[in-house]
Homo-oligomer: A and B are copies of this chain.
């Protein structure tokens, strides 16, 4: 979508990767926001950057949506072929071709899991002053809604398939609205 078409494969340069992450995460959240508004849909997104920093978006909130989702999972015996139909065949096959490598990557990741577990909290910022203002207002509304819908949280284990295997390599910077 830029000056040049790019292959959907892991970005090697960690700097470029971070830039790409920031831009695309922003775009993803924007799309999610539009979806929730246009369709009155409830949406929750949680993302961990290549640097393992958490980011999230939710309407009415990540907790409410996730809780609702996990609560029904156990109940439904539905096939549960968890989406991702978005991923095209090409992309999927491409991913499959690297399965071996990815397995090793995942094993390494698993080994480092404990350390990473102590990650710093959510790194969220609002450089944009005007946005900060609006955010505060909306935050009030958010609290109000929470008071209405949120009650007890005791999420249960839920099994859920998925698609989209990736490698995890470097990390580095971040930022950008």
Q: Which residues of A contact B (CB under 8 A)?
A: 6, 8-11, 17-18, 20-21, 24-50, 54-63, 65-66, 68-73, 75-89, 91-93, 95-96, 99, 102-103, 106-107, 109-110, 113, 117, 119-126, 128, 130-131, 134-135, 137-139, 141-142, 144-145, 148-149, 152-169, 177
Contact = CB atoms under 8 A, between A and B. Distances in A.
Given A43-B45, A63-B160, A82 B57 contact: yes
Q: How many copies does the complex hold?
A: 2
A21 B93 CA distance: 26
Which among A58, A107, A142, A162 has the highest number of chain B CB atoms within 10 Å? A162
Given A96-B138, A124-B83, A40 B167 contact: yes
